[in-house]
Amino acid sequence: MPVEKPAPSPNSKAVPGGRLDPHAGLLPSGQYDASAASDDELLSRLASGRGRETALPELFARHGERSLRLAARILGDFQAAEEAVQDAFVRLADKASLWRGDASFNTFFTRLLVNICRSRRRRGHDVLAKGQNVGTPSRVLGGLAASSRITEVAKRLRAEEVRQAVHEALEALPEKYREVLVLRELQGLSYKEIAEVLEASLDEVRIWIYRGRERLRQVLEGREV
């Protein structure tokens, strides 16, 4: 259990901007128990300029691997994802001062990580297949139902092939569609949280998620053809 001696604070009740008490987790002995604090309390502690030695490792232990999966899906590169996550946690200590208590740790940190991933992807290895805009206006359904087609695709491919095909299809999606799908399907964020992370409106998130799903399906069906 990481324990640190708390910094002296004459007025721990005063929490500006509606932030959580940065002294949450203080033990009666005066020591600080990071594992007893919530994510937001740890973020609040970081925002107050304390707890770097305990709050950061605790948050990393709680969210490191989940963040790694998110970064891996956005970047399409596991090693680059590890670097991005490490980068995000180091920067979190600095960026925490920008937190105003209006977003959860999950939203705040995910936004930071997504921005780092975007930056790395654009700087280094943007492999987005431009020109794969297949368009999704109204469709006419008839004959074999779409659900049957996608299910047939899955049946014909072995599990490993399905996994590979899905990830390649995800990789081929435009950035914003890939991001919303990863945040929604793989990270389980709500539309509201996604909107906060991507700094978009709820309506945009709705549309992007649908279009992402639709394009993913088209890419997979195209692969089968």
Partner 1 sequence: MSEPTLPPAPSGNPGAPGEPAVTVTEADAVLLSAYLDGELSGDEHRAIEARIAAEPPLRDELEALTAGRRMLIGAENESTSLLHPSQTFLAFGKSKLANAAPGELPVAPALKPPRMRRTLLVLGAVVFALLVMRGAGRVLRMLAAPERSAWQMTAVSGTWQVERDERMVSFENPAALQVGDRLYLDHLQTATLESPGGAVCTLEGYAKVRFQGSGGLFVEEGLLQIEAKDERAAADLDKAVRTPDGAVNLRGAGRLRVQVTPAAARTGG
Q: Which stretch binds partner 1 (CB under 8 A): 6-14, 21-29, 105-113, 142-150?
A: 142-150
Rounded least distance, CB 71 to partner 1, Å:
11
Which value, to the nearest 10 degrees, does the dihedral of the CA atoms of residues 180, 127, 83, 97 take?
-50
137 binding partner 1? (CB under 8 A): yes
Distances, alpha carbon 186 to alpha carbons 65, 74, 170, in Å:
13, 11, 12
Which residues, in sequence order, are CB contacts of 106 under 8 Å at separation 6+? Answer: 39, 63, 189, 193
- Give the Cα separation of 32 and 24 in Å (integer): 8
Contact flag: residue 225 with partner 1 (CB under 8 A): no
* Touching partner 1, residues 7-26 (CB under 8 A): none
Those residues whose C-beta lies under 8 Å from the C-beta of residue 46, and which sit 6 or more positions away, are 52, 55, 56, 92, 93, 96, 99
Q: Is 37 in the site for partner 1 (CB under 8 A)?
A: no
> Which range touches partner 1 (CB under 8 A), out of 9-17, 98-106, 171-179, 215-223?
215-223
Note whether 223 binds partner 1 by CB under 8 A.
no
By CB under 8 A, the residues from 156 to 195 that bind partner 1 are 159-160, 162-163, 165-167, 170, 181, 184-186, 188, 190-191
- Residues 180, 81: Cα–Cα separation, whole Å: 17
Range 88-107, binding partner 1 (CB under 8 A): 89-91, 93-94
Q: d(Cα 4, Cα 213) in Å, to the nearest integer?
A: 47
**Looking up tokens 């680059």, which residue turns up?**
80
Provide, rounded to whole angstroms, the least separation between the CB of residue 214 and partner 1.
Answer: 7
The residue count for binding partner 1 (CB under 8 A) is 63
Residues 6+ away with beta carbon under 8 Å from 158: none
Minimum Å gap between C-beta 128 and partner 1 is 18
Closest by CA to 89, choosing from 57, 119, 114, 48, is: 57
- By CB under 8 A, name the one of 146, 156, 201, 224 that touches partner 1: 146
List interacting residues with partner 1 (CB under 8 A): 52-54, 56-57, 60-61, 64-65, 68-69, 72-73, 78-79, 82-83, 85-87, 89-91, 93-94, 136-142, 145-147, 149-151, 154, 159-160, 162-163, 165-167, 170, 181, 184-186, 188, 190-191, 206-207, 209-210, 213-214, 216-217, 220
